[in-house]
Amino acid sequence: MPINKITGKGQIKISDNAIATLAGTTVNECYGVVGVVSKNYLKDGYSTLLKKENYSKGIVVKNDKTGLNVDVYVIISYGVKISEVVTGLQQRVKYVLEKSLNMDVNSINVHVEGIKVNG
């Protein structure tokens, strides 16, 4: 469900795909994250990381009356502390979405779909 805002100069509509792209770009900048993957990664067996135009397949945005709920599906680097990477990712995505959209974010749910060994 897109975000609708009415201003003095007109109406603004922000699609879920645009929010997913903003969140996905932020996720890819986080330490320890290899990339965003499809939410059906394990079931479908896709081994490719999603590019910017496909972030909506790996980031699910739900908008309700109290704010946004975001599910993020990622691959993490081998050798990093998963809990710290996920906590940092949640804090950073929440901050960027709240500041960019001027809207409350209720939850950032991170689903670690796999671990990749760099080398």
pTM: 0.86
For residue 45, what pLDDT band results from cuts at 50, 70 and 90?
low
* pLDDT tens for each residue of 9-30: 999 899 989 999 999 999 999 9
* pLDDT tens for each residue of 76-107: 999 999 999 999 999 999 999 999 998 899 99
Domain holding 22, by residue range, is: 3-116
Share of the chain above pLDDT 90, in %: 55
- pLDDT score of 82: 94
Instruction: Count how many domains the chain has.
Output: 1
Domain CATH number, residue 20: 3.30.70.1350
Residue 73: phi, psi to the nearest 5? Answer: -110, 120
For residue 110, what pLDDT band results from cuts at 50, 70 and 90?
very high
Give the distance, in angstroms, between the CA of residue 101 and the centroid of all CA atoms in the same chain.
14
